[in-house]
Chain A
Amino acid sequence: MDEEELRQALQALHSTTFGWALDCCDRNLEEAEDVVQGSYVKILNGSARFNGRSSLKTFLFGVIRRTAAEERRRRLLRHLAFARWFERRPERGVKDPESSARESERSRRLIVALTRLPRRQREVLHLVFYQDCTVDEAAHVMEISAGSARTHFDRGKRRLRRLLGNLGNDEGAR
């Protein structure tokens, strides 16, 4: 696959890629943009090479996930090392008011419920329901076995339903 073909394939997947990056960055828009750009750099300069063993989408999502994890570690270290000199950064998972306003009430409830799930459960649910991946593809992206992915998927689904139910009841009570 030459660079032009790769660029076109990346463009076709851009919006779904951004959705996955948002999930990997705890819905932080700015961080997600950085992660997407970092992943494109890795792919275009050849440090992450697509060898055709999986679909491009699975490969790209794997790169995004790894880049987001690197970014998280880097930010954490920077935060720990220079916390005294930098002003307090916003909490993870908290977005700017503009984007919050754009979300419908239903989506907001889903996001709140998702942030209460463990990362693996959230990732597998996102890949299956949001990205229409199979559980096996999700396992490939998350670099875990298919059995583990299925377990995370089942547990996550049960927990998400319970959380959504609780959040619905809370909203109804107000």
Chain B
Amino acid sequence: MTEQDSDRDLRDRFAALRNEDERLAPDFRRPVAPARAYATSSLRRREPPGRARYRAWRVSGLITLLTLAFFFGQYVGNRSPDDGPVVQPSIGEWRSPTDFLLDTPGRGLLQTLPAVGGWPPDLWQPPSRPAGARPL
């Protein structure tokens, strides 16, 4: 059986089923009568759910905006004029909050410039010899 023959066979089977189903279908007025009654009742005047949802979103968005505007107004209104403008320190005076980490032992020594012959004399003292010891 070719592809076309097989398709034709399936189409015939479905057509036979359709003819049988047509006899099972209820009269059109049966499902439509309650549907029309519902559609013409007060329920019809109700908004479609999609539109109602859209309106709810818009209202909630507006409420959020108004709330934010209110709190912003409160914040601006509560600022005292004595506070004055905030003065920012210049970059030359600015200190990093972690500046203390650079305070290592001997930092002072590293920042001084040694002079020839002016090195701390105690470092140049020859070690003291015990009494009676022979010189090297």
Contact = CB atoms under 8 A, between A and B. Distances in A.
Contact of B22 (A15, A46, A111): A15
A16 B17 CA distance: 11
Interface residues of B, number: 31
Nearest to B48: A47
A19 interface: yes
Contact of A102 (B14, B20, B28, B34): B20
Interface residues of A, number: 37
A18 B39 contact: no
Contacts, number: 92
Interface in A107-140: 107, 110-111, 125-126, 129-130
B129 interface: no
Interface stretch (A36-44, A80-88, A144-152): A36-44
Contacts of A161: 6, 10
B133 interface: no
A144 to B, nearest CB: 21
Contact of B20 (A29, A44, A107): A107
Contact of B18 (A10, A40, A104, A130): A130
Given A40-B32, A103-B17, 18 more contacts: A7-B32, A10-B32, A15-B22, A15-B25, A18-B26, A19-B21, A22-B21, A29-B24, A33-B30, A41-B35, A44-B38, A46-B44, A47-B48, A47-B49, A99-B24, A104-B16, A110-B17, A157-B7
Interface of B: 6-7, 10-11, 13-18, 20-26, 28, 30-32, 34-36, 38-39, 43-44, 48-50
